A and B are shown apart, each in its own frame.
Chain A
Amino acid sequence: MKRLTLVFVLLAAATFVIAEELSVGAKAPGFSLTNTVDGKNVSFAPGDGKLSVVVFTCNQCPYAKAFEDRIVALGRDYAKRGVTFYAIDSNDDAAYSVEASAEMKSRAMAKNYPFPYLKDADSRIARAYGARVTPHIFVVDGKGVVRYRGYVDDSAKPEEREHTGLHDALESLLGNKDIAVTATKAFGCTIKFKPAT
């Protein structure tokens, strides 16, 4: 009985463990999630040869909203240069209905997202990346390795930016140069993880 209790305690503890944020140099986890815009599955297979940007974002967070237009512009500009963006909402839509697929679709349509807006319904992908906040960025190279992680820019106010982290990382990678700053602190709203079952 004691052993059984211990198993339950350990399982309960594991439920609340949030993975460490993926390090630069780590292998990025792949995923297959539903694109809320058209209901189709979108798969990311790290190592597919493409430079990719995984953006953890959401509908309700004012901090994420402050970056939304910039992420859309970056997504549009860099798509022309072969970079694939994946926007993921990992918030628990049972607790926050504004994060439901239908709301995500409305947002993506209204803002004309140039990339899929994917629902991470059980927050598993956020856990796999160790994403903490929205927005939280991971740039993955063609070999599937994380090359940059952290913020889009160092300020939510465009006029106060001193470091455009995501832009600089993409420019460096596309120019076959070293990225000057590979890891930054992503500020934002905490991801509302769906309780693990």
Chain B
Amino acid sequence: MPLFLALLITASSNLAEVRSGDEVLRAFHTDTRIRVVNIWATWCAPCVAEMPQLNSISASVRADGVEFIGVSLDDAIPGDRAERKQLVTRFLAGKHIRFRNVYYVGRTNALADRFRFDGSLPITLVFDEKGRELFRNEGVIDAAKFRRKLDDLIKRRKR
């Protein structure tokens, strides 16, 4: 098997499948105090547009105990699941996205109900380690504003 194909399959298999919002919250490392969930899809142009900014913010706050998890909703559209997962994996690799992503295979409306959002993507939600929501950003983030909010949270939680 060619090396690139082997790497692709390995990367694809690393994209864990989740079936519920609670599973997403359980996927965070236990030592992270601030947990950011970005819900997106490759078919959502605004989601794709904000991904590099989320990537750079996540890298800059990782040392402060902030973890990002992206939740791909690509499976919401009919099609072959394995192919779609590969598409997402290729997209993430191509954009050099470093924060973890999971692949949502549950019902989209159940996710919208769990996280109380109206179905518009993207949405970014911030939780504490107990799963309590601290704030949310509906639509594309304003990177500077979002970073300031995270910084405020980091400062508050250090006190």
Q: Are B107 and A132 in contact (CB under 8 A)?
A: no
**A186 contacts B by Cβ under 8 Å:** yes
Q: Are B78 and A157 in contact (CB under 8 A)?
A: yes
**A179 contacts B by Cβ under 8 Å:** no
Q: Which residues of B contact A157 (CB under 8 A)?
A: 76-78
Q: How distant is A193 from chain B, measured CB to nearest CB, in Å? A: 11
**B43 contacts A by Cβ under 8 Å:** yes
Q: Which residues of A contact B113 (CB under 8 A)?
A: 185
Q: Are A189 and B118 in contact (CB under 8 A)?
A: no
B interface residues, tally (CB under 8 Å) = 17
- Of A32-40, A48-56, A60-68, A107-115, the segment with at least 4 beta carbons within 8 Å of chain B is A60-68
Q: Which residues of A contact B76 (CB under 8 A)?
A: 63, 155-157, 187
Of A151, A156, A185, A189, the residue contacting B44 (CB under 8 A) is A189
Interface residue range, chain A: 20 to 34
Q: Which residues of B contact A137 (CB under 8 A)?
A: none
**Majority-rule SS of A interface residues:** loop
Separation of A184 and B119 alpha carbons in the complex (Å): 10
Q: Are A187 and B108 in contact (CB under 8 A)?
A: yes
Q: Which residues of B contact A192 (CB under 8 A)?
A: 45
Q: How distant is A195 from chain B, measured CB to nearest CB, in Å? A: 15
**B137 contacts A by Cβ under 8 Å:** no
Q: Which residues of A contact B8 (CB under 8 A)?
A: none
Binding site for A on B (CB under 8 A): 43-46, 76-78, 107-109, 112-113, 118-121, 139
Q: Jot down 12 A-B pairs with beta carbons below 8 A, ordered by A.
A: A63-B77, A132-B118, A133-B119, A151-B119, A154-B107, A155-B108, A155-B109, A156-B78, A185-B109, A186-B118, A187-B76, A188-B119
